[in-house]
Structure 1
């Protein structure tokens, strides 16, 4: 008997403390994939390059702004990025250049080009980095969320063609 296994595409969003931008991107992408009927095709997570917020919930304003737009960040707990993440996830995505540098430094040599800038998936915005809203007003969180939604929509459009082609024969029984 042939067994077909659907391989998931790993997407990891990375910011500084893993309490604002990256958990928001995780929630947005998860929601978009779910609405597109593609949630099964992805392993989605987020992490931070700074250990000072490990174990904390998303920031109150990230929770509030996300909730207003239909994204649930309530179960999120911040975690620290590891070198194993670069190996595990197909798309480790940086919110800004400092995260890209950190990921490339942590990556095994053969995978140093795997980390990418998240906003490359939304070239129409002409923005390279998602500004850090931490400590700012709700408006800063709204502006970051606007960019994150554009980036996630572009990422999903980029990955959709890969979803149907990542199944393989696992073996025979």
Structure 2
């Protein structure tokens, strides 16, 4: 199973979600990827995102280039989880044939609120976003495990 995390620029939230999920997930055969809906060419993971991932997971994502979301990328994934409800609504309206596999992360795990964009914030703001993602991804993994046992 391929899960795609999507945010705006693929330099903060979604690349952190990809790293956190792949380090936490204990379900064989599930892997996460990430992309951005509006990527700036040649952009890379933000310094604060890379720093927070390194301090928590000891994984270096500092050289990671942002990936532009495409219909092909959506087609190749089994589940697309966005960081905001606005983004999931937008993707569902533009990619109607894939709408049944596009959700906001919060919607999918039945939690209120969006994942706050830390872009431009202090490293502490990024740490808060990291902790929020970690909590939500723990809930996602629990849901995926429950769904597999049905």
TM tier relative to shorter chain: 0.7 to 0.9
4+ runs deviating over 6 angstroms: none
1:113–1:152 distance in 2 versus 1, CA, 3 Å: same
Which residue does 1:133 correspond to in 2? 118
Distance, in Å, in 2 between the alignment partners of 1:28 and 1:149 is: 7
Report if aligned partners of 2:3, 2:78 keep a CA contact under 8 Å in 1. Answer: yes
Q: TM-score when scaled to structure 2?
A: 0.87
Distance, in Å, in 1 between the alignment partners of 2:115 and 2:58 is: 18
RMSD of aligned residue pairs (Cα, Å): 2.1
Aligned positions of 1:88-107 closer than 5 A: 88-107=76-95
Report if aligned partners of 1:49, 1:102 keep a CA contact under 8 Å in 2. Answer: no
Distance, in Å, in 2 between the alignment partners of 1:60 and 1:164 is: 39
SS, match of residue 78 in structure 1: coil
Which residue does 2:15 correspond to in 1? 23
Measure how far apart 1:151 and its partner are.
1.3
Q: TM-score when scaled to structure 1?
A: 0.76
Distance, in Å, in 1 between the alignment partners of 2:124 and 2:39 is: 26
Instruction: List gaps (5 residues or longer) in structure 1.
Output: 1-8, 166-173
Measure how far apart 1:162 and its partner are.
4.8
What is the total number of aligned residue pairs between the two structures? 149
Which residue does 1:78 correspond to in 2? 66
Which residue does 2:32 correspond to in 1? 44
1:71–1:83 distance in 2 versus 1, CA, 3 Å: farther
Instruction: List gaps (5 residues or longer) in structure 2.
Output: none
Pick the structure with more strand per residue: 1
1:71–1:127 distance in 2 versus 1, CA, 3 Å: farther
Which residue does 1:170 correspond to in 2? none
Report if aligned partners of 2:85, 2:103 keep a CA contact under 8 Å in 1. Answer: no
Deviations 1:126-145 (A, max 9, x none): 54201110001112111111
